[in-house]
Amino acid sequence: SLHDRARRDGHAWSRLLGPLCLSLALLAGELGISAWAYLLAHALSFERGPLVRRVAVLWPHALVTSLWGGAYLASGAGASGSGVYLHPLAEPVAFARELPARAAALLGAAFGPIPSDLSFVGTGGMMPVAAALAVLLVGALLWVARGELRRDPSSRFWWLGTLLAVLPVAASFPSDRLLLLVNVGAMAIVARTIRAVWPSAGAVGSVSPVGSGSRALAGALVLVHGVLSPGYIRGAVRGSR
What is the tens place of the pLDDT at every residue in 120-138? Answer: 665 556 677 778 888 999 9
Angle at 222 between CA 167 and CA 205, to 5 degrees: 85
Q: Distance between CA 89 and CA 95 in Å, rounded?
A: 9
If you average pLDDT over residues 4-31, what whole number do you get?
85
Q: Distance between CA 211 and CA 190 in Å, rounded?
A: 17
Number of H helices, E strands in the chain: 11, 0
Map residue 113 onto helix, strand or coil: coil
Say if CB 157 and CB 47 are below 8 A apart. Answer: no
For the cut 70, the answer to whether the pLDDT of residue 202 exceeds it is no
pLDDT for the residue 210 = 58
Element (H, E) at 5: helix 2-9
**Of residues 233 and 154, more confidently modeled:** 154
Q: Distance between CA 140 and CA 156 in Å, rounded?
A: 16
Q: Distance between CA 20 and CA 14 in Å, rounded?
A: 10
Q: How confident is the model at residue 23 (pLDDT cuts 50, 70, 90)?
A: very high
Please compute, for residue 212, the number of CA atoms within 13 A of its CA located in the half-sphere on the CB side. Answer: 0
Range with the poorest average pLDDT among 35-39, 66-70, 72-76, 185-189? 72-76
What would the DSSP string read from start to end of 22-43? Answer: HHHHHHH-GGGGGHHHHHHHHH
Q: Which of 40, 61, 8, 48 is nearest to 160 (CA)?
A: 40
Q: Distance between CA 138 and CA 120 in Å, rounded?
A: 20
pTM score, whole prediction: 0.84
Q: Average per-residue pLDDT in the chain?
A: 84
Q: Distance between CA 157 and CA 38 in Å, rounded?
A: 7
Angle at 73 between CA 101 and CA 14, to 5 degrees: 85
pLDDT for the residue 62 = 95
